[in-house]
Amino acid sequence: MKQKNFYIIDFDSTFTQVEALDELARISLKKHPEKEAIFQKIEDYTNLAMEGKLSFGESLAQRVKLLEANEDHLKQLITRLKKKVSASFSRNAAFFKKHADEVLIVSGGFKEFITPVVSQYHIKKENIYANTFVTTGDGKIIDYDHSNPLSEEGGKVKLMQQMNLEGDLYGIGDGYSDFQLRESGLIKKFYAFTENIARESIVKKADHITPSFDEFLYVNNLPRAISYPKNRILCLIIGDVDAQSIDMLRKDGFSVRHKTSFEEKYVADVHMLLLADGEKLEPEKLKRAVKLKTLGYLGSTKGKVDTGICTGLGVVVFDDVKHNPRNLTFIPKRMIDFMNTGTTYLSSNFPNLQLPRIDKSHRLIHIHKNVPGIMAKVNTIFAKHDINIVGQFLMTNPSIGYVITDINTEYDKQLFKSLKKIEHTIKFRVLY
């Protein structure tokens, strides 16, 4: 009989982008004359506990004491937290629905604000383990339940020992209390979640660093919203590129490297390439960049990049012939849209195709030489594999054909192999 898996997920700075008690303080102390000093104290207590430099119980007690919060403040906090769910958790809501029995939220935070946030993602209320506040009759928060093991130092370990779950347990979190589960031997692997914050003292102790929930799902071969984690997609930026463009690519989750030249060590592995105006790309290096999907140029590529080579390799090029200084993020935005949805709108070398995302479907990209009969071969393979097509779009130019196919059925890896083997195929990719 197959061993059951359980996924033990932290809340603060993991499921959400922020530390909830810090946010609650910003709400409850909004009009306090010494609010900035108190905010800093609360953040300091949070970080000391997360890094294992202060007991969790002491940290919690000090933070709650400083809050001066009530139930109205909690309502405001919940509204704010619902907008602050980590992007990679948010896009993988389908995973939580499918694995509702195996997902546990285990947090030193408080049920009063955790439950309304995670319940939206099909996580069962009985699988949410957290502290609870003590309030007065008029709703003022004055304390918390000290009998709850999660209010104590090593609380997560004590709780999991009491639960005695049978199966393989995997922990995902950003702090010391999450690592303690691994240290105690209660979980099989600890994944340091770094999408929001990377604590060096925790990262170096982890079994695996997961910059997104997509990465965790990928390495464990679990169903996910995107086929390949963005943190594994190398985006190389060359030359004098503005910080706004770099930040946009980094925030979308790509693994960004900013260099002064196209170093040899990156040639074989780069997926995205953004070049500053004036930078020149040697044809010989371009030909060897076999993983390259898209190239952005902050100016005109004429005389700087051989777009003919790019087209032959199935690399989508976006450039700014008009040198528009007012729209600094125009090119990176086009690159992001292509990587996320397959959109080639305003590409200088590909047929222009702009498509909406279709829910509950898988999107496949097929790039091929523009010769007769390719589409018939593509659809023959779909038919052989009993694939139900919910949307399909083909555009061509004199050199290439670009096909996007959305399917809503499960598929096996053999389908991909068959599509890649079609004669005159240049590139094939699964987006999500």
Please classify residue 2 by burial: count the beta carbons closer than 10 Å to its beta carbon, then call 0-12 exposed, 13-18 middle and 19+ buried: exposed
Which long-range contacts (C-beta less than 8 Å, at least 24 apart) are formed by 316-319? 316/344, 316/347, 316/349, 316/350, 317/347, 317/348, 317/349, 317/350, 318/294, 318/346, 318/347, 318/348, 319/348
According to the model, what pLDDT value does residue 358 have? Answer: 84
According to the model, what pLDDT value does residue 301 have? Answer: 96
Q: What is the rounded CA–CA span in Å between residue 35 and residue 40?
A: 9
pLDDT in tens, 401-423: 999 999 987 777 899 999 999 99
Which residues are within 8 A (CB) of 400 and not within 5 positions of it... i.e. 6 or more apart? 311, 314, 350, 351, 367, 368, 369, 370, 426
Q: Where are the alpha helices (DSSP H) in 385-428?
A: 413-420
Show the low-confidence residues of the chain (pLDDT under 50). Answer: none
Q: What is the rounded CA–CA span in Å between residue 253 and residue 87?
A: 9
According to the model, what pLDDT value does residue 1 have? Answer: 57
Q: What is the rounded CA–CA span in Å between residue 128 and residue 134?
A: 18
According to the model, what pLDDT value does residue 326 have? Answer: 66
Beta sheet of 189-193, edge-to-edge order: 128-131, 103-110, 5-9, 168-173, 189-193, 208-210
pLDDT in tens, 283-339: 999 999 999 999 999 999 999 999 999 999 999 999 998 877 667 799 999 999 999
HSE-CB for 137 with a 13 A CA cutoff: 0
Which residues are within 8 A (CB) of 176 and not within 5 positions of it... i.e. 6 or more apart? 49, 50, 51, 52, 201, 202
Q: What is the rounded CA–CA span in Å between residue 139 and residue 133?
A: 10
Give the residue carrying structure tokens 């592995």. Answer: 269
According to the model, what pLDDT value does residue 325 have? Answer: 64
According to the model, what pLDDT value does residue 359 have? Answer: 80
DSSP code for 4: P
According to the model, what pLDDT value does residue 412 have? Answer: 78
CB-CB neighbours of 167 under 10 Å: 12
- CA 126-129-131 angle, to 5 degrees, is 130
